[in-house]
Amino acid sequence: MAQLSDTGRSQPVSTGRIAPYAAIISENDLRRITNLISLAFGVLMGLIGLRFLLNLMAANPENPFMIFINIITLPFLWMFQGLTWTPAFEGITIEFYDLIAIPVYYLLNWAIVRLMWILFARRQ
């Protein structure tokens, strides 16, 4: 909302309301949201670890469960594929990029949660 001055220029008028971008979330809600984010990243890292173990045990790639694990984790691993050499011997595949992706997603989880606390926590 603006008000015209005697020179004809508009000047902002203070309404006493908080700006909409200055959202502050209660600590309880913030804790729940960050716990849900951490849970999602934990499930993702667990599925990537399971994929690594199944490939290490030479699991049948035609098995429906193995197909499900590959479909779920592929969008999160495409940027890591080809990063390292992938040795294979008699059906056993060691995908080192799986092991690289897990700490990368852990650090991403940590950074998102910390940033949310910095931006949205109430200041005492």
Per-residue 3-state assignment (H helix, E strand, C coil) for 43-84: HHHHHHHHHHHHHHCCCCCCCHHHHHHHHHHHHHHCCCCCCC
Average pLDDT over residues 33-59: 96
* pTM metric for this prediction: 0.77
Is 80 exposed, middle or buried, given 0-12, 13-18 or 19+ CB atoms closer than 10 A?
middle
- Give residue 22's pLDDT: 56
Rg of the chain, C-alpha, whole Å: 24
pLDDT of residue 27 exceeding 60: yes
- Give residue 18's pLDDT: 53
Residue 88: φ, ψ to 5°: -140, 140
**Alpha carbon distance 50, 47 (integer Å):** 5
Handedness of CA 32, 38, 41, 47 (dihedral sign): negative
Element of type H or E holding 4: strand 2-4
Lowest mean pLDDT among 42-51, 59-68, 70-79, 82-91: 82-91
Report DSSP state, residue 15: -
